Chain A
Amino acid sequence: MLIVLGIYTVVTKKNLIKTVIGLSLIDYGVNLLIVSVGFNAGGSAPIFTFNEIKPDTFFVDPVPQALTLTSIVIGACVTAMTLSLVIKIKDKYGTIDADKVRRLNG
């Protein structure tokens, strides 16, 4: 749902800041997807010291959680990058309306 919402904002909204928000929405949607993939019911958090592994304890799958960490970091950098670009565009083109910022076409 989040991903679809994000895509909607990126496609329709004219204001560049809104496109950036749309982008981060897509990213968070995908992150949630990753976390939810690793879930199996009833598992406890996969933190354990070395000696107390009991064969029957039932863990949530740790690998996707590691993936989400990196993906969140990447999402943050992308948003930071796009925002800095938007600021630059603002003072160069004087506007952040997508329709006006379109010198490169053809």
Chain B
Amino acid sequence: MLILKYLFYIFVFPGFLFCFFAGLILAGIDRKIVARMQKRIGPPILQPFYDFFKLMGKETIIPNSAAKRTFIAAPVAGLISLVTISLFIPIFKFSAFNAVADVIVIIYLLTIPAVSLIIGGSSSGSPYAGVGISREMVSIVSYELPLIIALLAVGKKAGMAVNDGMVTFSLSKIVEYQSLKGPMLFHWSMIPAFLAMLFVIPCEVGSLPFDIAEAEVEICEGPLVEYSGFPLGIYKLNYALKIFIFSSLFVTLFLSGNGTGIILFDAAIQYVLCIIVVILSVSLIRAVTARLRVEQMLKFYWTYPTALSILSLILVWLGL
């Protein structure tokens, strides 16, 4: 019986299907809002679905300079880790695998999709992909630092109150803390960490100002140069899932509390919050800014958001 429950979790609710639809709709909304901001009508909300299924139908070409097995395995590996993360993110106190899910585990799981993009790109063997990979790697290094510091601050804050001063990394404890004392955002010492995390989302997801790795114009889609058909479809799906998962992680870290009892209802609230967060961080900035150069991105990320998150770490450390 237990296996059946897990199967249900893995496949339907917080697992594959739910994320599939939620992620793609979120991506559709994001594109629609950006279009709206540029005063044009913009594609229908279901556009990502059409893109995905069209790519399914197309022929997959594997260039002869590519390492065949890795070329196909990379996108699937990225997909698997994304779905695993979705299992761990608690939706208002309910988390699929009630094992003590952990923030550091999630950070590492979040790097796997990026690594799968890189391995896929490098296995395709094209020089454009090579350049794209080094940019993608630099972007990972740049957004990791503020992300870590912000999470440490949240962990310390939640840890102080919930498990007797010891620092906690487990998400369910953080949610528990927020249900006691209200969402994390309202504690003013957490505002800088909140802002830092907002900055991190566009780069983590790879949306416009920081999508240097997949820059269509300069290096023709970077790592995805040689992909077509089915693996490309999976990569586009990964991109959409990443938006959804990272924003729902953000919501659980900063905005959650003790939601209503019914899971479905909670999931709806969480999803609405995700949309707001995505609009705020990804679409707004995407519609406004142009693409940065690689070192500019690194310099930017290692100065402003890091300073913000260190500020909040110090504040938390002083016990405020």
Consider the complex of A and B and state whether they touch directly, i.e. have CB atoms less than 8 Å apart.
no
- Residue numbers of A with Cβ under 8 A of B are none
- Residue numbers of B with Cβ under 8 A of A are none
